């Protein structure tokens, strides 16, 4: 399943670098997003490295989800595609 990284999880003054908000294709409500909790995601960098993460929670009412990655994500990952297993 494909998804796109929307942004870092952030507040007004802070940014959490190892947590990202992703928008999953064909998921457009909160109920469908809840079914994805616990699945593994993989982001591949342009250099070929993989960073793995896990979907932890839904985000908002439009089907976005929050992903906790094993380490911090680079800023270049925003807007790129990600694979959900």
**pTM > 0.85:** yes
The class (CATH top level) of 2-84 is mainly beta
Quote the CA–CA distance of 26 and 3 in Å, as a whole number: 9
Quote the CA–CA distance of 38 and 49 in Å, as a whole number: 22
Domain layout of the chain by residue ranges: 2-84
> How many beta carbons lie within 10 A of that of residue 52, not counting itself?
13
- Encoded tokens for 66: 């929050």
Mean pLDDT per 10-residue interval, the chain, length 85 residues = 95 95 94 95 94 96 95 94 94
């Amino acid at each position: 399943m494909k998804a796109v990284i929307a942004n870092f999880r952030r507040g007004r003054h802070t940014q959490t670098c190892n947590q990202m908000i992703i928008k999953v294709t064909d998921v457009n409500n909160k109920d469908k997003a809840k079914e994805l909790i616990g699945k593994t995601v993989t982001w591949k960098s342009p250099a070929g490295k993989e960073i793995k993460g896990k979907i932890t929670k839904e985000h908002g009412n439009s089907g976005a989800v929050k992903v906790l990655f094993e380490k911090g994500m680079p800023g270049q990952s925003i807007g790129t595609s990600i694979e959900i297993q």
